[in-house]
Amino acid sequence: MASLPEQCCTLPPFTSDYTATGTYFTVAVPGQTDLRVYAAGPADATTTIVCIYDIFGLHPNTLQGADHLAATYRCRVVLPDFFRGETWPLDNMPPKEGRAVLSAWVQKRGNWDVIRPALLAVVDRVKADGATKLGAYGFCFGAKKLIQAMDEHLFASAVLVHPSFFVAEDGDAVQIPVALIPSQGEDPAVMNGFWERVQKKGGRITEKSIREDFLDMHHGFGAARSNWADERMAARARDCFAVMIKFFKNTL
């Protein structure tokens, strides 16, 4: 059964005093409260990348990564606040109640039936704003949401960074080129099984999909568990985004 990596339940996020440079807008979601969305880069960009964050939501490190991607790739990056500010508490990691409680919280707050209408509304909005090329990247549980979104045909390609809740069979669901970016914290058997299935897809999926392992980095290094104040970790986070940018340039 799919589960959270051990490091997802044990490593706390880094604190950060980074001040994000983007702006916010709201999107109406049928049957839900309005959704707040962070946006970096020009609002009229034809290339837009949607990010699905990790359990710590709009954490400064995650926003810093989005700002970096938007400035470097010269695109628009949007981060919907699917949790609407009610993220997993920063001071409760490792979870005092135990790993099972965290897993249950993620399954409830990040349930696909909750995420799906909000994601569809965001995609409709950015298309209305002029986006003609759409990609996505997801951290941790966010990578799983991108697998679940495959049947919606929203994106031309997707990046899966230190994924959680994966099973090898998720590779069968892939319908677009993907970039798989595991850390040392994921189960190698699951990552390898997933990748083998992607490679068997054939055609453009096999041709354009890439895998880049960051086995010197812990789970979460690309988002809230990154520490851009640490020279080495910041460099590896930038390396991760460089892989993403090269992939998007080749697939969007």
| CATH assignment at residue 220 | 3.40.50.1820
Asked if residue 184 belongs to a domain, the reply is: yes
Neighbouring CB atoms inside 10 A of 207's CB total 11
Enclosing H/E stretch for 147: helix 141-148
Give the rounded distance of the alpha carbon of 98 from its chain centre: 24
- Cis before 94? omega within 30: yes
Residues 136-183 have pLDDT tens digits of 999 998 999 999 999 999 999 999 999 999 999 999 999 999 999 999
**At 88, phi and psi to the nearest 5?**
-65, 130
Burial category of 215 from C-beta neighbours within 10 Å (exposed 0-12, middle 13-18, buried 19 and up): exposed
Range of the domain at 215: 6-251
What is d(CA 118, CA 120) in angstroms, rounded to the nearest whole number? 5
Domain count, the chain: 1
Asked if residue 1 belongs to a domain, the reply is: no
- Residue 43 in contact with residue 22, Cβ under 8 Å? no
Asked if residue 188 belongs to a domain, the reply is: yes
Residues 229-241 have pLDDT tens digits of 888 888 898 999 9
Asked if residue 177 belongs to a domain, the reply is: yes
Buried b (16+ CB within 10 A) or exposed e, 61-73: bbbbbbbbbbeeb
Task: Tell whether the model's pLDDT for residue 109 goes beyond 90.
Answer: no
